[in-house]
Amino acid sequence: MFYLLSLFYYFYFSIVGIYIIFLPKVLSGIGYDASEIGIIFAASPLVRFILPFLFIKGMQLSIKIFNAALFLIVASALSFYLSLENFYALLASNIALGIGMSLVLPYIETIALHSIGKEIYGKARLFGSLGFIVVALVLVKFLNSAYIALDFLFVMTFLTAITAFKVQKAFPKALTQKQEENHNDINLLKDWQLWLGFILVQMSFGAMYNFFTIYETDHGISLNTTIYLWSFGVFIEVIMFFFQGKLLHKNLLKILQFTVLSAVLRWFLVFAFPQNLGVLFFAQALHALSFALFHSAAISYLFNLYKNKALAQQLFSGMSYGLGGLMGALLSGYIYEWYPSYLFLSSSVIAFGAFVFISLWSKKVRKS
C-alpha cells in the first residue's frame, strides 16, 4: 500500500505543479488579465468548498461516485484543449477538474492515515513533492507553447486516475464501511476559531499559488530562476515530509501555531525583497514549515479530534484549500491588478490573522 500511495501522490501533485506554476503564466501569455486569471483559478477551490456540505447532509461517497470522479478529472483535462482561449469554457473546465480532484484526494488521505499511519504518511506524501519538482524542472524546458502544458496536464491526470483506482481496489472498505465514523460529530460553528484559522492560512497562499511566477518574472527574475525557487521550496518540503514523523507525536496545536508564524515571515520576506535571490531562497525554505509540517499537523490533528475522519479530511480540503483558496485567488487577483507591490504584504497580514485564531482555539481547548 505504501508504494501505491506514493505513486498516487507523485502523479496527483504533478498535476498541481502544472496547474499552479505554469497555467497562470500560460493564461497571462495568451491575453488573460490578472482579475480573469484570479476568477478562473477560484473555480476549483469554490467547488472544493461546496462539495463537503453535500456529505454533511447525508450524501455518501460510493465506489461508483469515486470512480466517476476519476473519469471526470481525465475528461476535464481533455476539455482544456477546446476551452483554452474561451474564458467561460475554460471556467467550466476548471470547475469540472475541481469536482473530480476534490472528491478523490480527501479519501485517499483517509486511506493513507488508516493504512500506514501518520508516522509513515509523510514518507509517502513526499513523493507528491518529488512529482511537483520533476514536472516543474522538465516542463520549463519544453514550454514553448500553451498546448505543451496541456499535454503534460492530460498525461498526469490519466496516471493519477489509474493509480487512485488501484488504491481504492486495494482498500475498498474506506468507501463502503458502515461505522461510527459515518456519524457527523463536526460542528463548524462551535469550533469556528480552528476552522477560520485553517481558511486564513490557505487564503494567504493565494498570492503564491496564483501569482508567484508572474510576480517574480515581473520583478526581473527569469522564468528558469523562478522555477528553481519553486523547486527548492519543494525540495526542502520533501526533507520535512521524510523526517517529520517524530514531530507529529508532539503538541500538534503548538506545531500549527509555529508553522503559521513561519508563513507570516515567509510572505513578508517575498514582499520586502522581491529581487534578492538569497532572501527568496530562504523564504522558499520556509515552505517546509508553512506548508509541509502545517499540512501534516493539521490533518493529523483533525484525524484525532473527530470521529468522522473521512468527513473531517474532506472538510479540511473544502474549508482550507476550497474556501481559503477561493478567497485567496480572488483577492490576490484584484490586489495584483490594483496594488501589485503589496501582494505579499497582504498575504503576511492574512497569515497573522490565522495565527491569532488558531491561538484562540488552543486557549479554548486548554480551558475545556
Given this model, what pLDDT does residue 24 score?
A: 80
CATH of the domain at 201: 1.20.1250.20
Gap between the Cα atoms of 316 and 199, Å rounded: 9
* pLDDT value for 337: 84
* Cell numbers representing residue 289 in the block: 514549515
155 to each of 61, 158, 254, how far by Cα in Å? 26, 5, 40
**Mean pLDDT in each 10-residue stretch from start to end of the chain (368 residues)?**
87 87 81 82 78 69 82 93 90 90 82 75 83 80 75 91 88 55 73 95 89 88 87 86 83 95 96 94 94 91 83 83 84 87 94 96 86
Predicted model pTM: 0.76
User: What range defines the domain where residue 261 resides?
Assistant: 2-367
- The phi and psi torsions of 114 (rounded to 5 degrees) equal -70, -45
CA dist 58 to 51, 61, 63, 311, Å?
12, 10, 16, 11
How confident is the model at residue 268, as a pLDDT? Answer: 97
- Whether residue 20 contacts residue 38, with contact meaning beta carbons closer than 8 Å, is answered with no
Residue 273: predicted pLDDT: 95
Q: Tell me what pLDDT residue 180 has.
A: 47
Closest listed residue to residue 204, CA positions, set 286, 305, 290: 290
CA 296 to chain centre: 12
* DSSP secondary structure, 241-263, as one string: HHHTTTGGGS-HHHHHHHHHHHH
E-strand spans in the chain? none
Domain count, the chain: 1
